[in-house]
Amino acid sequence: MPIDRREFVGGAAAAAAMAGLDLRTAAQAAPTYRGPNVIIVRFGGGVRRRETIEPRTTFAPVLLNVLARRGVLIPNVTIAQLDGVDTSHAEGTLNILTGRYRAYRDAGSPFLAQHLEPTEPTLFEYLRRTFDVPAHQALLINGEDRPQEEFFSYGVHKNHGIAYRSEVLSLHRFKLWKLRTRIAAAEGTDEELAAARKELQKLKRQDYRNAPPRQAAQIERMWRRWQSFYGDSGLKNPRGDAALTELALWALRYLRPRLMMINYQDPDYVHWGNASHYTRAIAAIDKALERLVAAVDSDLAYRDTTVFLVIPDCGCDANPLMSVPYQHHFNTRSSHEIWALIFGAGIFKDRVLDKPIDQTSIAATAGALMGLRTYRAEGRALDEVFL
C-alpha cells in the first residue's frame, strides 16, 4: 500500500517532538521507524549538467527521459561559493549527508591520505538516534578506490557518533572479512597465514579510528553468500561502480535497508586524461539507476514505499584550454553547478523545480521525508516536491 507522506511524517515528527530540544538518551526506547525507504545516489566523480541533464548532450537518457518523469527534476542546484568550500568528492558527499558546509575535519597525517570525518551528524546518525533502525539497515555503499570515504559512516558530534553509525558495504570491507575469517579458521599453510595477517594489518592501518572489527551478523552472512557466489580471487565479481550497483542490489535482497547511500565515483577517472572515461561512466551510472529502480519496482515491500534522491557530489570545470575539460579542482562556476532528481513515494511526478536550490537542502529534505529533526542542517527541506 502506498505511504501517505503526511501520515508517516506526522507520526514520526510527533515522536521526535516528544524528545524536546534534547535528543533521546540511550536508556530511552526508540520508536519503530514507519517512514519511507530512502536511497540516496551520489552521481559521483564530478559531473556537469551538459553531459547529464541537458537533452541534446546527455549520456544519461534513462535519468532524463524516464526517471525524471517519475518525480521532480531540480536543474539549478549549486554548491555555495564560500571560503574553505572545495568542489570535490569527499566534501560534496558530506554536504549531502550533513546538510552543512565545512562540517568535517581532516584527521589525516603526513603518513595518511586525506581522511575527512564528519563533525556534524549525518543522516545515518539522525535516523538511528531517532528510530529503532539496526545498523545493517542504514547502509553506505562505498567504492574500493576511496576507502577514506568509509569514515563517513559516523562522525564526532558529541550527541551522535559510533553508536549510531551506518554499516559500510564495499570490496574493502569484504577483503577485511575474508582475511579475518581465513585467519580465524587457520586455513592455509603457515606462510599463507603469515601473508594473510600482513595483508590484514595493511588494510586495518587505513582506518586510524580502529572501528569495531566485526560487522553486523546479517552483513557477515551476506559476505559468505558473496564469497560463495564470486569466490576469493576478485576476478569474477564486478569492480568499480559496477560493484557498487551489485552490492546495493544484494543489500536490497538480503539486508532490507531503510536508508542507503550509494557513492558512485567512476566519472572521476577522467583525470587519467581520456574524455571517454568520463562519458562512459555517466552512461554506466544511468544503466545502474535503471537496474536499481527495476529491483525496487519488483519488490512488494519497496515498490510504493521508496524515495530516490539523486545528486552529484560536485560539478566539473568547463575549461576549453584543457585537453580534457572535465576537471573539478579549479573552483570555476561550473564546478559549483549541479542538479538533483527526487522521485518515489509521496513525490510529485513529471515536474521541474526551476529555482535555485542549495546542495545542503538534500539532507533536510531526506530528514523531512523520514520524520527526522535534522537540527544541525543549514539547508531547507524542499517541501515543493512533496505531494
Integer angstrom CA distances of residue 9 from 6, 33, 148, 385, 387: 5, 10, 34, 14, 12
Asked if 88 and 329 touch (Cβ cutoff 8 Å), the reply is: yes
- Asked if the model's pLDDT at residue 116 lies above 50, the reply is yes
Those residues whose C-beta lies under 8 Å from the C-beta of residue 79, and which sit 6 or more positions away, are 85, 87, 92, 95, 314, 315, 335, 336, 338, 358, 359
Q: Are strands 71-78 and 357-358 parallel, antiparallel or unpaired?
A: parallel
Distance CA 171, CA 179 (A): 12
41-50, 298-307, 349-358, range with the lowest pLDDT = 41-50
More confident residue, 257 or 120: 257
pLDDT bracket for residue 23 (50, 70, 90)? very low
- Cell for 38? 530512502
What confidence score (pLDDT) does residue 6 get? 43
Q: For the chain, give the mean pLDDT.
A: 85
pLDDT at 271 over 70: no
Residue 300's identity, in one-letter code, is L
Cβ atoms < 10 Å from Cβ of 60: 23
Mean pLDDT of 116-128: 90
- 173 φ, ψ to 5°? -65, -35
Cα separations in angstroms, 212 against 183, 189, 216: 17, 28, 10
Helix (H, G, I), strand (E, B) or coil at 332: coil
Of 262, 263, 180, 260, nearest to 214 (Cα)? 180
pLDDT of amino acid 325: 66
Question: What letter would DSSP give residue 334?
Answer: G
Q: Using CA atoms, how far apart are residues 221 and 231, in angstroms rounded to an integer?
A: 15
Summarised one tens digit per residue, pLDDT across range 138-195 is: 999 998 877 777 777 777 777 777 778 889 999 999 999 999 999 999 999 999 899 9
Please report, rounded to a whole number, the percentage of residues in the chain having pLDDT higher than 70.
Answer: 86
Is-contact 369 9, C-beta < 8 A? Answer: yes
Residue pair 37/257 in contact (Cβ under 8 Å)? The answer is yes
Q: Tens digits of per-residue pLDDT, 353-372?
A: 999 999 999 999 999 999 99
Q: Give the span between the Cα atoms of 49 and 31, in whole angstroms.
A: 41
How many residues are given for the chain?
A: 387
At residue 118, φ and ψ (nearest 5 deg) are -65, 135
Interval 121-134 mean pLDDT = 94
280 burial (CB, 10 Å; 0-12 / 13-18 / 19+) is middle
What is the rounded CA–CA span in Å between residue 363 and residue 358? 11
Integer Cα distance of 368 and 348 in angstroms: 15
Please tell me the distance from the alpha carbon of residue 46 to that of residue 18, in angstroms, as a whole number.
41
Residue, of 311 and 143, whose pLDDT is higher = 311
Structural domains in the chain, CATH included, are: 5-22+34-171+228-385 (3.40.720.10)
**Residue holding cell 559516523?**
154
